[in-house]
Amino acid sequence: QKEVEQDPGPLSVPEGAIVSLNCTYSNSAFQYFMWYRQYSRKGPELLMYTYSSGNKEDGRFTAQVDKSSKYISLFIRDSQPSDSATYLCAMSAVEVVGAQKLVFGQGTRLTINP
C-alpha cells in the first residue's frame, strides 16, 4: 500500500464548476500538507500549504486537512480553463528541522472546459 493515495483521474469539468481533489494517507506522523500544481511539460509549483489539521483559503482555492481521517482535500471554486493542470498532493513528517522529505500522491489530471 502506498503511503499517499490520490485518484489519478482524469477529471474533466465545465468552467465555473466547483472542483474537489482528494488524497488519503497512512503515515500518522505527517504534519505538513501541500498541494502542487503542474502544467504540461513543466515542473510542479507550490499552490497551497497547510500545517496540521484545519482549513486554509487563498482566493478561489481552499485546502482542508482532517488528520483524524488521514484525508486532505483541495477545493477550487469558479474553476477557470487556466486551472487545467495536474494537481499533486504532498506531505511530510519532520524528522530533523530543515530536513523534510516530501511524499507525493500520484497526481490528478484536471481539465476545465470553456
Q: Where on the chain is the footprint of another protein (CB under 8 A)?
A: 4, 6, 8, 32, 34, 41-46, 49, 51, 88, 90, 92, 94, 97-107
Q: What minimum distance in Å lies between the beta carbon of 99 and another protein? A: 6
Closer of 51 and 71 to another protein (Cβ)? 51
Distance CA 52, CA 66 (A): 8
Residue 82 makes CB contacts below 8 A (sequence gap 6+) with 112
CB of 23 to another protein, least distance (A): 10
Q: How far is the CB of 47 from another protein (least distance, A)?
A: 11
Q: Which is nearer to another protein, 18 or 46 (CB)?
A: 46
Task: Report the distance separating Cα 67 and Cα 81, nearest Å.
Answer: 31
Q: Which is nearer to another protein, 43 or 114 (CB)?
A: 43
